[in-house]
Structure 1
Amino acid sequence: MISQFVILSQHGDILLFKDYRGDVGKESPELFLQKIRDLSGGLAPPTFHHDGIHYIHVKHSSLCFMATTRSNVSPFMVIELINRVASLCKDYCGVLSEEAIRLNFPLVYEILDEVIDFGYPQGTSTDMLKAYMENSPVLVREGTTPGLFGAERRMVPSTAANKSIMGTAVSQGRKNEIFVDVLERLTVLISTSGSVLRADIDGIIQMKSFLVGIPEIKMGLSEDLTVGKEDKRGYHSHAHVDECSFHESVDLSEFGQSRVLTIHPPQGEFPLMKYQASGDLPSLLPFRLFPTVNDQDSSRDMELVLKLRCDVPSTSHAVNVMVRVPVPKATTSVSQQLSGPGQSVEFKAQEHLVVWSIKKFPGATELTARFKLAVANRTPSSRLELGPVSLNFELPMYICSRLQIRFLRLFDHEQSYVPYRWVRYVTHSDSYVIRI
């Protein structure tokens, strides 16, 4: 059982405080924040004990969801409850942000009343709770939307994240829609010679359902998809994953033969399929870097030339590309020469870092940046302080694993409607590092 449930902003403001049992003091949020600030770098473990109270917290987007208890409960159970409450808030408010919580305070408070009774978890089904919700959501039209797998992103590629389950039914006359996002996180390490030391993909097919009734959905994945140790002949031209798992609503009876999933989706957002792939990827890596360092000059200046090539097809592009280059600690200034518009460079002296930003990078093109580093008291070891280069980027409508959704069909004999179906592909850099 839990004693309190608290939602905090990224600045430590208390957005919502719910006391279920009265056995923990109301100063617990302040003590929790103070405990976090006392830790080095503010990196608090998800659960810790202080003065007879267990603090369990999870960060979602820019918000911190925290629960307290004096009981000897399973921390994994409480973490799962917190994650489920966060999902419910997103389903009913449309987007999980500080503004959404403030605008929908009565609705979120009502969700906590229904989900937790005197500290004991009750039903957490999005569809089941709709029958008991009396408050209508206030939709957030503008503002920063949480990015993929919890990262803050600048791009809002779809309106799906801003739609409320209740808002769709109330304000839009139960418009039937279903959103499917194929999202991949890419982890890559490239050596100084250009060889790939590591290439991993963490992927997820995320579904958000606004459908009426209980329809049956048929989703066809790539016919040439191979899983695990299956036949890999022609592997480099086919989609491949090392392992995968599916949501409980998925029927896999046709998956082995025809790569078709049968789904009875619940209301709200849920992970339909999670998968991982590593080793040789079926497609080219999205970026290649060709660095050149000139530190032979007797002056204190060091010249660095970066040629960055985007190897995605010409019909695709990357957005919000950020190239981070660690420079020697003795660097006093940086001058640059860029190959085109839509680019900028920032020298962060305190972090000894040069950041090259590219708003939009078309596929099958190459950009060049030339940096001149003024290094005080340059020594032969200054070269060793240069790099490695790390890249952050997003690739809309591009997937490195080549996993594709062939079709998305809906069957419901009791309802006569044609739902709106939206499918999106996005690749997001998790860790893309190139040694120079």
Structure 2
Amino acid sequence: MASAVYFCDDKGKPLLSRRYKDDVPLSAIDKFSTLLTDLEDESAVIPPCINHNGIEYLFIQHNDLYVVALATSLTVNIAEVFAFLHKLMGVLGEYLKTVEEESIRDNFVIIYELMDEMMDYGIPQITEPRMLKKYITQKSFKLEKAHKKKRNAARPPSELNNSVSWRAEGIKYKKNEAFLDIVESINMLITQKGQVLRSEIIGAVKIKSRLSGMPDLKLGINDRGIFTKYLEGNNIGVNIPDPQEHGSGVAESSITNDGKKRKTNIELEDLKFHQCVRLSKFENEKIITFIPPDGEFDLMNYRLTTSIKPLIWCDVSIQVHSKSRIEIRCRAKAQIKKKSVAANVQILIPVPDDADTPSFKYSHGSIKYVPEQSAILWKIKSFPGGKEYAMFAEMGLPSMDSYEEPKVKRPVQVKFEIPYFTTSGIQVRYLKINEPKLQYKSYPWVRYITQSGDDYTIRVN
């Protein structure tokens, strides 16, 4: 585990430190700036792990800071250390808003207190901002510590000593509700001819909990074989439904009559649960059980690399006439089931930087020229599945030389939302809520959303 955590400036010089163990010498951090400089000279890409004289330097960069954890090679759990460093920066962001060199120098006391509570002898302890804020505050904590004889000094809340450190006791609501959203973001890279070069699904199961007491929730999901590979290590059988049931177009794995498993083109890249989930229950029974934090949180995140067809497809053609006029045609099609409707579709079509005097013709939606982005923005508020719309734009090229050919190297960017639909086919079978003491009536709500990710693009040429 971590022996010490340091905050360093952008040159690698230490600003603040907290040592948890004595197995790393005090002078070890002095080598960090030199090691950093050597790596910058050798390569443009700096690895996040450096080994020097049996000491591991594990660091992340945040604004003008390096946050460095030191550990010996024999005791370090690299994944756990990096998870802690990112969590530490998240907690500091809750307290300091902006985490940079100046804010670190101005808040030594509160940072020391947080680091003492978040890690003990190099092992992460309390990392939930909601719990930490109950007894570590920037304004009052210094005053409470200054009065040494004060008898009624604030003490850590009792729930920190319980197994459920992420939820306080005594929470009450007049109406007990739990809102569950399954949100899938699609990233794709598509050629002009429609060939998919890269596609991935980034999914999140988001929950907003407004439940009294200490409720125990049980979530059953129909994962369509997504987590099969994750569970195979325990030899768990998985029932996989018909892939065409929800029209996802994703090929799934299945079990043949002779017991042999067919190949699947779904590959689970990342699967991350909130700490409230009982992992053993999920691995053994494929049931997600948990006591939720109060408010909003991500219960589960996953990423799938799989071959899927474009949900919103655009065929864009650009023609130049007489070296002074450019014509742009775009044909957009919603390649989803007819019962589904894509909402808030935005198609950003790049044009040459010096294009002007636009004129448009279009069959649906609205269209405008966005000169600051050198692009045409076509908005379609509602795009039913199976429908096809077209637009035509003509623009002038006043600075065009007779020997030049206008080149548009940027891709077309597409944004959209499709409610009540998941590309992977994940479905909620049930969401059961049980509070053993209060036994109240609860209302679970489930919603599905598929949307474009940060990188849903179509090449023009």
2:386 pairs with 1:386: no
| Residue of structure 2 equivalent to 1:235 | 244
Cα distance in 2, alignment partners of residues 4 and 253 from structure 1: 34
Which runs of 5 or more residues in structure 1 are unaligned? 139-164, 349-353
Cα distance in 2, alignment partners of residues 130 and 167 from structure 1: 7
The one of 372, 385, 395 aligned to 2:417: 395
The one of 280, 291, 304 aligned to 2:328: 304
- Helix, strand or coil: the match of 2:371? strand
Structure 2 letter corresponding to 1:410 = I
Checking the alignment, whether the CA contact within 8 Å between 1:220 and 1:405 is kept in structure 2 is yes
Cα distance in 2, alignment partners of residues 209 and 64 from structure 1: 35
Checking the alignment, whether the CA contact within 8 Å between 2:89 and 2:99 is kept in structure 1 is no
Aligned residues: 378
Relative to 1, partners in 2 of residues 1:275 and 1:292: Cα closer, same or farther, differing over 3 Å?
A: closer
RMSD in angstroms over aligned alpha carbons? 5.3
2:362 pairs with 1:362: no
The one of 340, 344, 364 aligned to 1:318: 344
Relative to 1, partners in 2 of residues 1:2 and 1:290: Cα closer, same or farther, differing over 3 Å?
A: same
What do residues 149-200 of structure 1 show as CA deviations (whole Å, max 9, x unaligned)? xxxxxxxxxxxxxxxx999969x96557655442323132333333445443
| Residue of structure 2 equivalent to 1:412 | 435
| Residue of structure 1 equivalent to 2:70 | 69
2:286 pairs with 1:265: no
Relative to 1, partners in 2 of residues 1:48 and 1:255: Cα closer, same or farther, differing over 3 Å?
A: same
2:299 pairs with 1:279: no
Relative to 1, partners in 2 of residues 1:6 and 1:355: Cα closer, same or farther, differing over 3 Å?
A: farther
Checking the alignment, whether the CA contact within 8 Å between 1:206 and 1:270 is kept in structure 2 is yes
The one of 72, 77, 82 aligned to 2:85: 82
Alignment TM-score, normalising by the size of structure 1: 0.63
> How far off its partner does 1:132 sit?
8.9
Cα distance in 2, alignment partners of residues 238 and 407 from structure 1: 21
Relative to 1, partners in 2 of residues 1:68 and 1:210: Cα closer, same or farther, differing over 3 Å?
A: farther
State the structure with more CA Rg. 2
Structure 1 letter corresponding to 2:455 = S
> How far off its partner does 1:410 sit?
0.6
Checking the alignment, whether the CA contact within 8 Å between 1:291 and 1:304 is kept in structure 2 is yes
> How far off its partner does 1:201 sit?
1.8
| Residue of structure 1 equivalent to 2:4 | 3
Matching of residues 12-411 of structure 1 within 5 Å: 18-21=16-19, 23=26, 44-48=46-50, 56-58=58-60, 66-69=67-70, 71-72=72-73, 73=76, 75-86=78-89, 93=94, 98=98, 110-117=113-120, 120-124=122-126, 126=128, 130=131, 133-135=134-136, 175=173, 178=178, 180-207=180-207, 214-222=214-222, 225-227=224-226, 233=242, 235=244, 237-238=246-247, 242-243=266-267, 245=271, 247=273, 249-250=278-279, 251-252=281-282, 261-265=287-291, 267=293, 269-272=297-300, 274-276=302-304, 278-280=306-308, 285-295=310-320, 297-310=321-334, 315-318=341-344, 321=346, 323=348, 325=350, 327=352, 332-338=354-360, 339=362, 341=366, 343-347=368-372, 354-357=374-377, 361-364=381-384, 366=389, 368=391, 370=393, 372=395, 374=397, 376-377=400-401, 382=405, 385-387=407-409, 389-393=411-415, 395=417, 397=419, 398-411=421-434
> How far off its partner does 1:377 sit?
3.4
Checking the alignment, whether the CA contact within 8 Å between 2:172 and 2:213 is kept in structure 1 is no
Cα distance in 2, alignment partners of residues 180 and 280 from structure 1: 25
> How far off its partner does 1:82 sit?
1.2
Cα distance in 1, alignment partners of residues 240 and 334 from structure 2: 31
> How far off its partner does 1:387 sit?
3.9
Structure 1 letter corresponding to 2:79 = F
Cα distance in 1, alignment partners of residues 440 and 314 from structure 2: 50
What do residues 326-376 of structure 1 show as CA deviations (whole Å, max 9, x unaligned)? 75xxx544443455657451355xxxxx34446774323746362536263
Relative to 1, partners in 2 of residues 1:343 and 1:304: Cα closer, same or farther, differing over 3 Å?
A: closer
> How far off its partner does 1:79 sit?
0.8
- Helix, strand or coil: the match of 2:348? strand
Relative to 1, partners in 2 of residues 1:137 and 1:402: Cα closer, same or farther, differing over 3 Å?
A: farther
- Helix, strand or coil: the match of 1:69? strand
Cα distance in 1, alignment partners of residues 38 and 446 from structure 2: 43
> How far off its partner does 1:273 sit?
5.3
> How far off its partner does 1:134 sit?
0.8
Cα distance in 2, alignment partners of residues 420 and 99 from structure 1: 39
Cα distance in 1, alignment partners of residues 285 and 205 from structure 2: 15
Which runs of 5 or more residues in structure 2 are unaligned? 20-24, 140-163, 229-237, 253-265
Checking the alignment, whether the CA contact within 8 Å between 1:137 and 1:167 is kept in structure 2 is no
Cα distance in 2, alignment partners of residues 304 and 44 from structure 1: 43
| Residue of structure 2 equivalent to 1:154 | none
